[in-house]
Chain A
Amino acid sequence: MSLASCLLLAAALFCVGLYGLLARRQIVAILLSIELMANAANLVFVAFGHYRGGALGQVFAVFSIALTVAEVAVGLALAMLLYRRHGDSRVELASEMKR
């Protein structure tokens, strides 16, 4: 596997995540999609680290994972909050404010 194919894979992963983010209506599914996108980024970090050498890629990936985790934790809490408020976690319900 070359760097290019790794990057292509990452891009595909990113797009899959993006598709999920836009298409899914359950908040938890949305969070998962975001996680996929973040992992695509991590893949790029790691791939560059592997093919170009140096610790930078790995270091960045570790930080990135930590950040994503923190973010998803907050996301889940918000999902809970909305679930309690609406009795469901469909994203359409959280659209009282608009225009």
Chain B
Amino acid sequence: MSELRVLWMPLAVAGLAVLVLLVDVLAPPDRTARTGRALGWLVAAGLAGALGASFSVDGSGRAALGTYDGGAWTTFVQRLVVGAALLGALGALDDVAARTPKRQGEYWLLLLASLLGMVIVPGARDLVLLVVAFELMGIPLYVLAAYAKNDRTVDGAQSRAGEAAFKLYVVGAASTAVTLFGLALLTGMAGTSSLDGLAEAPATPLGTLGMLLVLGGIGYKIGMVPFHMWVPDTYEGAATPFVAFLSVAPKVAGLSVLALLFVSGLGVHRGAWLPPLGLAALLSMGVGNLLALPQTDLRRLLGYSGIAQMGYVLLAVAAGDAMGVGMTLFFLAAYVVTNLGAFLVVHAASGGGRGHGLDAMHGLFRRAPFLALALLAFLLSLAGIPFAVGFWAKLYVLLAAWRAGLAGLVVAGIVLAVLGLFYYLRVLQAAYMIDEEGERATPRASPALGLAIALCLAAVVGLGLWPAPLVDAASRASVDLVHPSAPVARR
């Protein structure tokens, strides 16, 4: 029974997936878009339930032959991905119902399958489980990226979702191969696949090579330079509500693996992985911010901005201590609500196939004041401006990195952040300053989408004003990982 208690979250997500499958199969097939939203709401309710339950269920302990740990760290990451999935589901609900009224089950099943992978990842303490969960997370995303394959773009051209998915796929598949190759070397040289075992295994050149190849594989998932090139294209081509989810949840999972594998498992070999990781962080911040400057499509812009954001969080990972991990978690929490919110606003503001260019935002302040306000908050948060949660996120990440002796990278990050401000402000300029009178229709966010945006906004502002609880929670979760209190850890 205790095994089930520890594994409750993956089980709950799997159960929800089964429930969705059953409802989808058993419900009458002639559903309209209106009634069809029920399935989406079911998913959302289920996820909300799981999220709520995570605050009362104590899942700590080991399960599945010690390959899964359900402590504070796991719970925290799970809350983040489930929360992201919930917000993503709310945001996508109408889109899915409108796009494929009769085949909605596919979308939700794939989403939940991917989520299942994500909730296992942070708990995995064995590389086999880790890699399976990681792929379980990744493969459905390829399919989901192609989900809008029948859409037409604003200029009448055919959908680019296929291309989006393909680019995601090719880079992803190649990275998976690299990861597997690396894992083979790593586990082979260490003779074990458990993380605790890896930590104790002596360093070998081949093992180090394997470790670094794995880093490359994870780098792909989080869009770290130079594994980032799919990001803008996929964000531009795939359905926006899905991109909202794609832009946050896999990154949370990917970074949790990074923390799990490198900080916790291979922390002893920090000397080997820190320099490349630091370089990648620097490149991510630089390339992301620089290439975002000339973008005019908001999804591409947010894509590049996301690359830059990953650069910042990598600094905290590179710090390699409990504080760094804690601040990574804090950053991710802030990033989830902020970036997801930003994409949802872009989605809502461009509703009705108006396109996602900067000009789609013109006069937003007049047409949809709430969306404009939300956009303001999200962009300022992304830019790291005080009293939005993104400020604290960036601050902590940089502080953690400086404390760990990465002052040079921190300075570069701070300088590059100003560059970032330029393009965020340009979006605000489009939304607040440029206005062609009365030309554009008023975008209306549906209740679900509006709810999702409002939740994100509340989180961004609320945590911006009062970040202490989240900081404490993140710190506790990180301590759980980096200094395991349970003696079970050493098998």
Contacts and interface: CB of A to CB of B under 8 A. Distances in A.
Tell me if chains A and B make direct contact, with any CB pair below 8 A.
Answer: yes
Interface of A: 7, 10, 14, 17-18, 21, 27, 30-31, 34, 37-38, 40-42, 44-45, 47-48, 52, 54, 56-57, 59-60, 63-64, 67-68, 70-72, 74-75, 77-78, 81-82, 85, 94-98
Contacts of A98: 233
Contact of B177 (A41, A48, A63): A41
27 contacts: A7-B206, A10-B184, A14-B177, A30-B170, A31-B173, A34-B173, A37-B174, A41-B180, A41-B184, A45-B187, A47-B188, A48-B187, A48-B189, A57-B184, A57-B188, A60-B184, A67-B176, A71-B135, A71-B173, A75-B173, A81-B165, A81-B166, A85-B149, A85-B159, A94-B166, A94-B167, A97-B232
B174 A48 contact: no
A37 B172 CA distance: 13
Contacts, number: 124
Interface string B100-128: 00000000000000000000000000011
B378 interface: no
B162 A48 contact: no
Contact of B146 (A47, A60, A81): A81
Given A67-B135, A70-B139, A81-B146, A56 B191 contact: yes
Given A14-B181, A52-B191, A34 B174 contact: yes
B188 A67 contact: no
- Range of interface residues on chain B? 35 or more
Nearest to B188: A48
A54 to B, nearest CB: 7
Nearest to A21: B174
Contacts of A95: 163
Contacts of B163: 82, 94-97
A78 B187 contact: no
B132 A67 contact: yes
Specify the main secondary structure of chain A where it touches its partner.
Answer: helix
Contact of A34 (B132, B139, B177, B189): B177
Contacts of A74: 139, 142-143, 169
B169 A78 contact: yes
A94 B162 contact: yes
B155 to A, nearest CB: 11
Interface in B70-104: none
A46 to B, nearest CB: 9
Given A37-B177, A81-B149, 16 more contacts: A7-B206, A10-B184, A34-B174, A45-B184, A45-B188, A48-B188, A52-B191, A60-B128, A68-B180, A71-B135, A74-B142, A78-B146, A78-B165, A78-B169, A94-B167, A97-B232
A31 B149 CA distance: 20
Contacts of A56: 187, 191-193
Given A41-B183, A45-B188, A74-B169, A97 B143 contact: no
Contacts of B149: 81, 85
A37 B149 CA distance: 29
Contacts of A44: 181, 184-185, 188
Nearest to A51: B188
B237 interface: yes
Contacts of B169: 74-75, 78
B188 A97 contact: no
Contacts of A68: 176, 180
Given A44-B185, A44-B188, A70-B139, A85 B180 contact: no
Contacts of A7: 206
Contacts of A17: 177
A37 B181 contact: yes
Residue among B160, B188, B192 with most chain A CB within 10 A = B188
